[in-house]
Structure 1
Amino acid sequence: MVTWLDPVKTISYTVALVLKGSGGVSMMTGFWFMTGTNSRLYASLIPLPVAILVIIPIIIGVYLLLAGILGTLAVTAEKRIYTACFMLMLIIFLIFECLSSIFILFYQIDIALALQKYLVHNLHQYYGLDRHFSSSINYFQYKFSCCGILSPDDYNSSTWVTFQDYNYPLTCCQLINHQSVDAWTSPQAENIFTCQNQNGNRTSTRYSQGCLWSLLDHTLTIIYSFLPVFLVFVTLQVVGVLTGFSICRRIDRKEYLRALSRSRLRMVHSRDNSIHRDSLHRDSLHRDRDSLHRDRDSLHRDRDSLHRDRDSVHRDRESVDRDRESVHRDRESVDDSEHHSSS
């Protein structure tokens, strides 16, 4: 259970909840790229397969969700294995975020140039042939009021112009139905003739700016809007690592106190056993002493019996002596009688 009065547990539990929520959002983003109606409009302009755009957010979401579950277990169970895994996953994800940020920061110009090359090449080769890419270009031309990647001249060398009656897509034109949400799917130009004019002197009804810079500005706006959220998320991860260290120290302290308690309990048991053994030894000594007393009393009784036997022997000897004297007197009397008779 989470003790809300404990700030360390409260912060760790909050970090775990944020991680699980972020994991859910990331997984939903991956599924959105897979099933969303407008996701293809963005995915077609990114030089990566759609499968990667789907798999990467889902993998990140599962990773964050697992980290959040481990964080919850680390708070509620206070087991070293859960806390260590939670901290390790946070540190790994922090390293991933730092490396990704450094890569984007140092190679942002190269990324922009690679994106420009990719979009220009695809506009020349696949516009009008690839339905998803064509829809993306039409949508962003309508959304940002632009034409082409770098300029409307990108269409002059495209495959699309070879089988079309137009020089430029209608989404490059100023539209009558511009206020409609689906205007890019069925564009209606205000003046199709001035829009399709290639002379360059009457371009008021055709957008002259390329879409690349508007697309990059839009991307940077999204990044900057999410930057505070990203910084808060990174800060929460750092706080989660620090609170994980605190929980580990708390676990160490509890284990130390538990070991100390067990040691003291063993000492008490040992002392009790020693006292019990001493008590048993004392009882044994008492029994031995009682036995010695009984043996001594028996010896005393035997000695008294010997004394009585000796006295009886003395009395018998005295009786024998008296009988002997009596016999001697009787003999002398007989002898005297015989002597008188012979005289």
Structure 2
Amino acid sequence: MKCYRLDPGHGLAGLTLDERDVPEPGPGQVLVRIRANSLGFRDLMVLDGNYPLPISPGVVPGCEGAGEVVAVGDGVNRVRPGDRVAATVFPRWLDGPFIRDNAAQLGTMIDGVLTEYAVFGEDAVVPVPAHLSFEEAATLPLAAVTAWHALSAGGPPRPGSTVLTLGSGGVSLFVLQFAKLAGARVIVTTSSPVKAERLRALGADAVIDYREDPQWSQKVLDLTGGRGADRVVDATGPLEQSLKSVAASGDLAFVGYWLSGAEGARPVDPAALFSAGAVLNRIATGSRAHFTELTRAVELHRLRPVIDREFPFEKVPDAFEYCASGGGFGKIVISHS
């Protein structure tokens, strides 16, 4: 089989296509033929060696993949050959709060999914909705799980409540879709009129161009009668503007963009944290339980992820270059077909 391997910290020069034997599942394990992958900003950080978790030299990169079970080891009863599944980003994080013992992550500390076949523990895969293609299912494990976790921390959004999500990256697009399923009013920030129109087409109730107005929190207050958004999902920053946008006693889901040295990652005045009067939740992807919950919602409502562009497996370096160029709208997918 073919698989990619990574020498972290060298960018694309550290990414090589390798061959090795197809692995065999041991007791409690399943062998999955990977049919599709998805890439995002997190993968660029790993490629450059700029990531908070340790990256093992020679690791198979990639944490988002979907495929079909082709063999199972002794004692497996959750899945069987022929099942369509996706891998969980943190294979040991089954439920409950995140703890360091569950920090082993696909594509950094342990081998990931940019490969033709992969072995997982049976608890580390989740059945995917029947109406989705493998390419669509591959967009779920990271961005969708993060969005679901961000919206459910502190309780799901109530019908009629206001959700603010920042930017039009993969996490924010899923936040928009999931929040609309819950009956929430959704405000989104973006950087261009073209993206604004696409966001409205997906159901956004209001769109704010942050390039036209860097102090966009005032517009959020205007749109909410001075109250602020009941929930803010901040995946891009600046955090100070989010703190000014959230309602008193509201929830602010903070996704770790600051780790990358992003433009919005700058120090925040402690007085702004206190004055917001909101609950600040740190969001680091999510558990198997989060993943299972969101797949039920996706299947019930026949929701489809937004895909920007597909690349063949042999062109993964091109997909990384396209991802690094920015400006896309939706998930970047690798197809093995």
TM-score (normalised: structure 1)? 0.20
- Larger Cα Rg: Structure 1 or Structure 2? 1
Q: Which has the higher strand share?
A: 2
Given the two structures, how large is their TM-score scaled by the length of structure 2?
Answer: 0.21
By relative contact order (CA 8 Å, sep 6+), the higher-ranking structure is: 2
